[in-house]
Structure 1
Amino acid sequence: MVSPSGTPVAGPSIRTSTGSASRSITHHQNNQTQKLPDTNIENSSKSSHHDTPPSGPRKPFNRSWRFWAIILSLSIMALCGTVEATIIINALPTIVADLGGGSAYLWIPNAFLLASVAVLPLYSQLSDIFGRRYLLLGAVSLFILGSGLCGAASSMGMLIAARAVAGLGSGGIEMLVETVVTDLVPLRERSKYESLVLTGSLVGCTIGPFLGGVIVVKLGWRWIFYLNVILGGASLLMLFVFLKVKHRRNQTLISRLKRIDIGGNAIFIGSVVAVLLALTWGGPVYRWDSFRIVLPLVLGLLGLFVFTAFEWTPKLAPEPSFPRALLSNRTSAAALMQSFILSILTFCFLPVYFQGILGKSPLGSGIAIVPISACVVPFCIVGGVALSKFGRYKPIHFISWAILIVGLGLCSLLDRNSSTAAWACFEIVCSAGIGLVTPTLLPAVQAPLEERYVATSTGLWSVTRGFGSIWGVTIPSVIFTNEVRRYSDSINDVSIAERLANGQAYELATKAFLDSIADETVRDQVISVFTRAIKTVWYVGIAVAGLGLLVVFVQREVKLRQEMPETEFGMDDGRPASRTAATDEIPLEDLTARRYE
């Protein structure tokens, strides 16, 4: 999705926050009551190397004890969200054995992911309308409820439905945690504090699979969900006590409900559901060339284009969930593109290498990826601190992508004879590339934008990452499956070769499958085919990372604001919410779609 750029033009009238008579943009320009910046492309070359972001009232950045309590609460909540998403990996066989359900088990992780991604734009708009505090508390409560129902599930259907409920809460948590940080911290400092919150997420990714295996053995699978009830409850209590932030209270409930972009969110949710259905069914349930995959995928992608057109038409969406201003400059668009690419590469194929080539168990594979998961944390902190200190994101992005390309190139050298030291060191190199860039992407997205777009830009960033993670599983699995089919003729056992050639290679790249092959020669042939196939996956990953590096050159270096703006959603200090951050009435998109490149 790309956004057309251009100068603000005369359009529908807007009203002031006091409800005064309508005044058109032309009237403002003619009377010089509001001077808009020159947004012509021709004049962009006159800007300095560090373009100036939108300005406004500023106040000092206050880090009180309550601020740190909020950061701690958000970190715990981020930990819960990622633990919920990853802890279930090693528990699936036990859950299926207990509840049954056959192939429906695929929906245990997928229902959670689908629900969490589909509601992100809705959460971003609702947080602007109703404020951050109660919406975040509601999302956390929904997450706790879903987790509790998962633990109490008596059937596969109940478990899947409960996972969807937990996903609805998790989507809000993911978006609102980042939004609250951006509300409380000036732009230049955000990466530093986002890296602290991200530490909770990354710790969850690291310990989730291992913790799930341990809990299943020691306490039973239901406790992997009850654990999130306990942690989520503690976080909910802390947020209720400490998260006191401003929001506008001078609107009636009816006027707030009228502002919700019902049409846009309905189109988006339907499109996302169609795309995710196709991507999750493709391979395990249906062949990729089946109409059951092609039809929803095409309809879903077309729906996303319809959603964009709907949102960018003021008469259809007067207050859109996805404003055109978010992509009206190449810096924000480039940072979003990098976020999408990084999410594709973050869900790498290391588990397939460990299980399908080295023959490790799922638990052993989870332990083997600890180096990349654990080392991302310190590199995230380094990247966040570096951006805060120097205020320049382009050098960090360039260095990060270069390191990641090297790391993926090293991974392409791995085979069944590679030593533990080799693959562990290669993981650390990849973690450096991923970690350094991760906390610097959202500040780059928001640098050219006004503070009023904090929630919507964070929501779009979260959607971009969610879609990237889906494609990050789908694209490698399709490549791997096709490459295995290509080389399957080299396997002597015809029945095994046919199973691998019929689209089951990704599912069969496990220790259990290798152990089921009695003939050692055939087992070696299968491992050889897996090795050749996964090398192609790494090569494609290198090319994708190279695209991320090229996108860096599209960005402009925008000066990061160092002081807190007077926003509507900052820390509640007893003063009324600022009326400069957003108007009571529906904002006019063309007025704010400035070009800061």
Structure 2
Amino acid sequence: MAKSDNAESERPLASPSEPPTSSPEPATDATAEPSAAQPKGHSPRFWAIIVSLSLLAFISALDTMIITTALPTITQDIGGATQYIWIGNSFVLASSVLQPLCGQLADILGRKIPVVASIALFMIGSGVAGGAVNTAMFIVGRSVQGVGAGGIYVLIDIVCCDLVPLRDRGKYIGIINAWAGVAAALGPVLGGVLAERDWRWIFYMNLPICVLPLVCILAFMNLKTGDGSFKLAQVDYSGTVLFILSIVSLLIGLVTGGITHPWSSWQVIVPLVLGIVGWICFHLHQHFYAKHPSIPTRLFSNRTSATGYALTFLGSVLLQTAGYFLPVYFQAVLRTTVSDSGVYFLPIAIGSLFSAVIGGVLLSKYGAFRPLHAAAFALSTVGFGLFTLLNDDTPKVAWAFYQLILVAGLGMTISTILPAILAGLAESDVAAATAAFSFIKTFGFVWGVTVPSVIFMGVFNNNLSTISSPDLREQLKDGRAYSFASEAHRIGSTIEPEVWSEVVKVYTTSLDAIWWFSLGLSILSMFMVAGERGLDLSTELKTEYGMEEVADSKKQAE
């Protein structure tokens, strides 16, 4: 620990922009640095790239959630009821496993080629999935689409880091990634609407939407390519293969457990064990054997970055838990339709947009991330605590206010954690660190469904005996309560009020267990903030991959 503390302490003691050995002059006042480091305003090219990245963040996140309500319709149309789990999860699987490789390719090939390739793969996969005539074709399309989306997840953050100094990154990361939160809320509603008309347009609509960012990237993103050489021999091939096999095995166990097979079955335990062992072997390989590791262990060698990664994971779990189970409350307890539950979820969707931007602006203005992180998880604690009060009599103004409190906190984590991670690392580690950040965030989303689902199903099964109707107990047991919620508005009116109140009570009790679980994670996260150090955030842009106009302006300023 002393070694990592010493490594971190070098940055705060130096000028915010450079280490002491490379600075020819004493540190000057930080307020004078921005004008010396880059021009005061941003060019139209800069904003064209920011808008393009925002569109990409929106559309790639939308495709993660939009299929949830349309999946029954798609399965019925193309068949494949037995492959239901893979139809739903092939996208998540494919988008996760190649993210570290994308970060490494961004260093080797420069940023533009991987971005264009990711958009192209996303569009190709969308076209294949939209035109699918059978299950295999659909799964292939979704997998190709997921590979493209995974690259987009990583590269939008990397490119943003190339455009602005560390201290300003939270602001622009917030602007870009907040649209992913909006997409997550709109996805189920839009998926339900399109499924009623023609589900294929769920995927076809991606093609025209992606054309604009693709054209803008090709026309305006003239970024440097590092030293200008394509050194594909530096790709961590063996590490990438080991990582892919490990994560695929781990995710197979996570997504099939409790759905396709019981958690205690060998079909779940074996993939989980192999995945965990493989993941450990991957990190050993990265540390001891890889000449050019895709996830170097130095990314976790200081306490600020390591804590930042842990907070990324926990924040993602909390966001996904709220996004996955609040609609269950709206649909099962309040008996709303799927589309209405999406409207009821808007306080989190819209609130995340504003909270992420506000968090980034505060980080840019004051340069202190620890108070923002502590406040974020404190608000999350309050928000989930208030969620434990939710029942069928909770007025709209109350649950809307509860959502706003929750997202006021968790929304800030979207924009303020990555700059904290990068503060303890060298600028040359931006791509690798951002790729690791993106993967951990995505992996947190998987756990944000898996763990709360296990809790929900367990509590629900334990309380089924309080429902007097045997037919309803059969319809609700062993995880069926989640899908039943979407039909509650219709089925509830056909059931005797006394019996339905029993059902609502079981739903409320099961959801309460999830809210208490999330409250505990929020408290843990709030205390973990103490593991971060108050490192300075540089106000000078120093990168080999910046826009040419930024580099030219910097030279003129010097």
2:357 maps to 1:376: no
User: What does residue 247 of structure 2 align with?
Assistant: 272
In the other structure, the counterpart of 2:529 is 552
The question of whether the paired residues in 1 share the 8 Å contact of 2:250 and 2:276 is answered with yes
Do the aligned partners of 1:356 and 1:527 also contact (CA within 8 Å) in 2? Answer: yes
- Is 2:212 the partner of 1:239? no
TM-score by length of 1: 0.85
C-alpha spacing 1:470/1:44, structure 2 compared with 1 (3 Å): closer
The reply on whether 1:263 has 2:238 as its aligned counterpart is yes
Give how far 1:574 is off. 10
Partner secondary structure for residue 390 of structure 2: coil
* 1:416–1:323 Cα change, 3 Å: same
AA aligned to 1:133 is K
Offset at 1:282? 1.3
Equivalent residue for 1:581? none
Indicate conservation of the 8 Å contact 2:169/2:419, yes or no.
yes
Change (3 A) 1:160 1:514: same
- Residue 21 of structure 1 is matched in structure 2 by none
Q: CA deviation at 1:500?
A: 4.0
Q: Mark the runs of 5 or more structure 2 residues left unpaired by the alignment.
A: 24-32
> 2:30 aligns to what?
none
Structure 2: which amino acid aligns with 1:277? I
Contact 1:311–1:322 under 8 Å retained in 2 = yes
Higher deviation after alignment, 485-494 or 465-474: 485-494
Give distance in 2, aligned partners of 1:303 and 1:217: 43
Give 1:473's match in structure 2, choosing from 432, 435, 449.
449
Asked if the contact 1:61–1:186 (Cα under 8 Å) also holds between the matched residues in 2, the reply is: no
1:356 aligns with 2:339: no
Pairwise mapping of residues 20-39 of structure 1 onto structure 2 (< 5 A)? none
Pick aligned residue for 2:171 from 192, 198, 204: 192
The one-character-per-residue Cα deviations of 1:482-509 (angstroms, maximum 9, x if unpaired) are 1112212222233543554445444444
Q: Please state how far the C-alpha of 1:284 moved relative to its aligned partner.
A: 1.9
| Match in the other structure for 1:97 | 76
User: Residues 569 and 250 from structure 1, CA distance in 2 versus in 1: closer, same or farther, beyond 3 angstroms?
Assistant: closer
Shift of the alpha carbon at 1:524?
Answer: 2.1
Give the 3-state SS of the residue equivalent to 1:359 in structure 2: coil
**Residues 54 and 478 of structure 1: CA distance in aligned 2, closer, same or farther (over 3 Å):** farther
1:332 corresponds to 2:305: yes
Match of 2:541 in 1: 564
Deviation larger for 413-422 or 162-171 = 413-422
Code of the residue aligned with 2:303 in structure 1: it is R
- Tell me how far apart the structure 1 counterparts of residues 421 and 145 of structure 2 sit (CA, whole Å): 28
Task: Indicate whether 1:183 and 2:162 are aligned.
Answer: yes
Structure 2 residue aligned with 1:488: 464
Q: Mark the CA change 1:473 to 1:499 in structure 2 (over 3 Å): closer, same or farther.
A: same
Is contact 1:89-1:209 (8 Å) kept?
yes
Shift of 1:325: 1.4
Judge conservation of contact 1:183–1:569 (CA < 8 Å) in 2: yes
Where does 1:302-321 land on structure 2 (aligned, <5 Å)?
A: 302-313=277-288, 316-321=289-294
Say whether residues 1:115 and 2:94 are aligned partners: yes
For 2:200, which of 200, 203, 222 is the aligned residue? Answer: 222
Q: Which amino acid aligns with 1:245?
A: L
Of the candidates 85, 88, 107, which is equivalent to residue 64 of structure 2?
A: 85
Amino acid in structure 2 at the alignment position of 1:372: I
- Specify the code of the residue in structure 2 equivalent to 1:236: L
Structure 1 pair 47/93, CA: closer, same or farther in 2 (3 Å)?
closer
Task: Please report how far the alpha carbon of residue 474 of structure 1 lies from its aligned counterpart in structure 2 after TM superposition.
Answer: 0.6
Return the match for 1:158 from 130, 134, 137. 137
Q: Whole-Å Cα distance in 2 between the matches of residues 452 and 47 of structure 1?
A: 15
Describe the shift of the 1:44–1:114 C-alpha distance in structure 2 as closer, same or farther (beyond 3 A). closer
Q: List alignment gaps of at least 5 residues for structure 1.
A: 8-38, 579-597
**Which residue among 249, 256, 274 is the counterpart of 1:299?**
274
Give the equivalent residue in structure 1 for 2:373.
397
Task: Indicate if the aligned counterparts of 2:332 and 2:488 stay in contact, CA closer than 8 A.
Answer: no
Higher mean C-alpha displacement, 526-535 vs 391-400 = 526-535
1:418-456 Cα distance to aligned partner (Å, 9 max, x none):
112211111111110111232000000000111000000
Letter of the 1:60 counterpart? A
Question: Bigger shift: 72-81 or 407-416?
Answer: 72-81
Residue equivalent to 1:13: none
Provide, for residues 539-595 of structure 1, a one-character-per-residue CA deviation record: whole Å limited to 9, x for no partner. Answer: 111000111101101110100000111x2211124979x9xxxxxxxxxxxxxxxxx
Secondary structure of the residue aligned to 1:234 is helix
8 Å contact 1:284–1:504 — kept in the other structure? Answer: no
CA positional deviation for 1:512:
4.6
Deviations 1:82-125 (A, max 9, x none): 12222222222221221121142332331111100100001011
Residues 331 and 337, structure 2, Cα contact 8 Å, conserved in 1: yes
Judge which range, 348-357 or 503-512, deviates more: 503-512
Task: Indicate the SS of the match to 1:321.
Answer: coil
The farther-off stretch of 62-71 and 115-124 is: 62-71
User: 1:40 offset after TM fit, Å?
Assistant: 7.0
1:269 alignment partner AA? I
- Partners of 1:310 and 1:508 lie apart in 2 by 45
Whether the 8 Å contact between 2:158 and 2:431 is mirrored in structure 1 is yes
- Residue 538 (structure 1) aligned with residue 515 (structure 2): yes
Counterpart position of 2:28? none
For the pair 1:412 / 2:388, whether they are aligned, the reply is: yes
- Number of residue pairs matched by the alignment: 534
Contact 1:151 1:226 (8 Å CA) reproduced: yes
Mean Cα displacement is larger for which, 551-560 or 71-80? 71-80
Give the Cα separation in 2 of the matches to 1:168 and 1:376.
26
1:514 offset after TM fit, Å? Answer: 7.3
Aligned-pair Cα RMSD in Å:
2.4
Deviations 1:52-107 (A, max 9, x none): 67636896224222111111111111111112222222222221221121142332
Question: What is the CA distance between 1:249 and its match in structure 2?
Answer: 5.5
**Cα 1:159/1:439, change in 2 over 3 Å:** same
Instruction: Say if 1:73 and 1:40 are closer, same or farther in 2 by CA, change over 3 A.
Output: closer
The corresponding residue for 1:172 is: 151
Q: Distance in 2 between matches of 1:460 and 1:360?
A: 39
Pair 495,287 (structure 1): closer, same or farther in 2 beyond 3 Å: farther
Q: Which moved more, 1:320-329 or 1:97-106?
A: 97-106
CA distance in 2, matches of 1:447, 1:45: 11
| Distance across 2 between alignment mates of 1:504 and 1:511 | 11
Residue in structure 2 matching 1:434, options 404, 407, 410: 410
Paired with 2:291 and 2:139, the residues of 1 have a C-alpha distance of 36
Partner residue, 1:522: 499
The normalised TM-score by structure 2 is 0.90
Match in the other structure for 2:26: none
Does 2:179 correspond to 1:203?
no
Q: CA 1:168–1:263 in structure 2 vs 1: closer, same or farther (change >3 Å)?
A: same
Note closer, same or farther for the CA distance 1:555–1:519 as it changes in structure 2 (3 Å cut): same
Per-residue deviation at 1:44?
7.7
Contact 1:278–1:293, Cα closer than 8 Å, also in 2: yes
Instruction: Tell me the distance in 1 between the aligned counterparts of 2:56 and 2:47.
Output: 14
Percent of matched pairs sharing the same residue: 36
Compared CA separation, residues 44 and 397, structure 1 to 2 (3 A): closer
